[in-house]
Amino acid sequence: MSKTNPGNYFEDFHIGQVLHHATPRTITEGDVSLYTALYGSRFAVQSADSFAMDIGYEAAPIDDLLVFHMVFGKTVPDISLNAVANLGYADCKFIAPVYPGDSVSTISKVIGLKENSNGKTGVVYVRSTGRNQTGETVLDYVRWVMVRKKDPASPAPVADVPSLPDRVDPTHFANSTPEIDIENYDFNLAGAPYRWGDYEVGEKIDHVDGMTVEEAEHQLATRLYQNTAKVHFNNHTESQGRFGKRLMYGGHVISMARGLTFNGLANGFHVAAINGGRHVSPCFAGDTIYAWSEILEKESIPGRDDIGALRVRTIAVKNHACADFPGKTDDGYHEAVMLDLDYWLVMPR
């Protein structure tokens, strides 16, 4: 009997299946520094203990998306080792701050299955929950991934696609952020004067800057997250695949886009939730990423007069500046679009 893990194929999953993922991960200040080196994130709350503590945090919290990647990475050997592509996210809630020294682990439950018409792949829907060392839930989200079948002739399961909410209700954000001392929030140090009230629904922001994806940086990032998906690591096999080369991890594009949004959304210091997201097209080493955002909604947070929530849609594109706000049209997406991400940001009022 082989002692190695070949990963699960589509026919290995069943509705209600619970997967306890290996290797809890202690997130350290070294991880934070490496994450900053990879994406250039400049949000003040995550960058300086002094800034974070002045406004009410215990210390500078771990960047929300770094937490996401660490929790996500645990799931890959069991869910997406044999993936063709990760397709999307929904109902993602960042529930409690994570600090350097905290350890995260992940459990997933299969909530949906649907074989594709080609009979060679299927889509697996899972809800994954990340907890810290005390068992407190810090992150909960749904994702769906296209996974290869081991045997194309194996019978298809009854299609069962879960019903997912269009948005996370802002009532969930009341406790995910500590009480913020606005008097001590230094907007000069934060990098911009704009508060929650300064943004309008329908407003579009070209984040202007671009960042080129480097092969070495992507490989470093996926190893940091212990993401072992073959499509990201194994150029020997992927050179014989449909693209002829490795794919960039979709989360790498998300973090690059988030870093670029600082220029225009500098005081959006906490990603409170991801309502939904699509990886529209693949990203490869050498592509240059640009991003633009649209404000979809503004919501007060129940019981909080220190912060408000902006529902933001960020579009990441490759090799195309965003002055014309390329996005979704009646005929589909603009050819440059890679990522369409709908999420909530917390901002000082």
Could you tell me the pLDDT band of residue 236, with boundaries at 50, 70 and 90?
Answer: confident
* DSSP string over 147-168: EE-S-TTSPPPPPBPPP--SS-
Check pLDDT > 90 for residue 124: yes
The first and second tokens of residue 5, run together, are 């893990």
Half-sphere exposure of 321 (CA within 13 A, CB side): 3
Q: Which two tokens stand for residue 141?
A: 């989200």
Chain CA centroid to CA 346, Å: 16
Residue 230 confidence (pLDDT) above 80: no
- Which of the given ranges, 82-96, 105-119, 167-181, has the highest pLDDT on average? 105-119
Cβ contacts of 277 within 8 Å, gap of 6 or more: 88, 89, 90, 254, 339, 340, 341, 342, 343
Which residues, listed in sequence order, are joined to residue 295 by a DSSP beta bridge? 312
pLDDT at residue 287 above 90?
Answer: yes
Tens-place pLDDT, residues 316-345: 999 999 999 999 988 899 999 999 999 999
Share of the chain above pLDDT 90, in %: 84
Q: Is 309 helix (H, G, I), strand (E, B) or coil?
A: strand
Per-residue pLDDT band at 237 (split at 50, 70, 90): confident
Question: For residue 101, is pLDDT > 90?
Answer: yes
In this model, does residue 175 exceed pLDDT 90? no
Residue ranges covered by each domain of the chain: 1-151, 166-173+188-213+248-349
What are 37-51's pLDDT values in tens digits? 999 999 999 999 999
| pLDDT on residue 256 | 97
Cα–Cα distance measured from residue 235 to residue 242, given in angstroms and rounded to the nearest whole number = 12
Closest-CA residue to 144 (of 13, 237, 243): 13
Q: What is the per-residue pLDDT for 263?
A: 98
Q: Are 157 and 14 in contact (CB under 8 A)?
A: yes
The CATH code that applies to domain 166-173+188-213+248-349 is: 3.10.129.10
Is it the case that residue 1 has pLDDT exceeding 70? no
**Average pLDDT over all residues of the chain:** 94
Q: pLDDT digits over 57-87, tens only?
A: 999 999 999 999 999 999 999 998 888 888 8
pLDDT over 90 (residue 232) = no
Third-level CATH fold of 1-151: Thiol Ester Dehydrase; Chain A (3.10.129)
pLDDT value for 118: 93
Judge whether residue 98 has pLDDT over 80. Answer: yes
pLDDT > 90? residue 121: yes
Helix H segments across 125-214? 187-190
Q: What is the pLDDT of residue 290?
A: 98
Output the pLDDT for position 194: 98
Give the tens place of pLDDT for each residue, 296-316: 999 999 999 999 999 999 999
Instruction: Report the relative pairing of strands 288-300 and 307-318 from DSSP bridges.
Output: antiparallel
Instruction: Tell me which residue has tokens 């996210």.
Output: 89
Task: Identify the pLDDT of residue 268.
Answer: 98
The answer to whether residues 133 and 142 touch, using CB atoms and an 8 Å cutoff, is no
pLDDT category of residue 245 using cuts at 50, 70 and 90: confident
- Alpha carbon distance 44, 189 (integer Å): 7
For the chain, percent of residues with pLDDT exceeding 70: 100
Pairwise CA distance, residues 239 & 280, whole Å? 21
Q: Which residues pair with 104 in a beta bridge?
A: 25
More confident residue, 236 or 163: 163
1-151 matches 166-173+188-213+248-349 in fold: yes
Q: How many CB atoms lie within 10 A of CB 223?
A: 13
252 pLDDT more than 80: yes
3-state SS class at 343 = strand
Tokens 């594709």 sit at which residue?
A: 116
Q: What is the pTM of this model?
A: 0.94
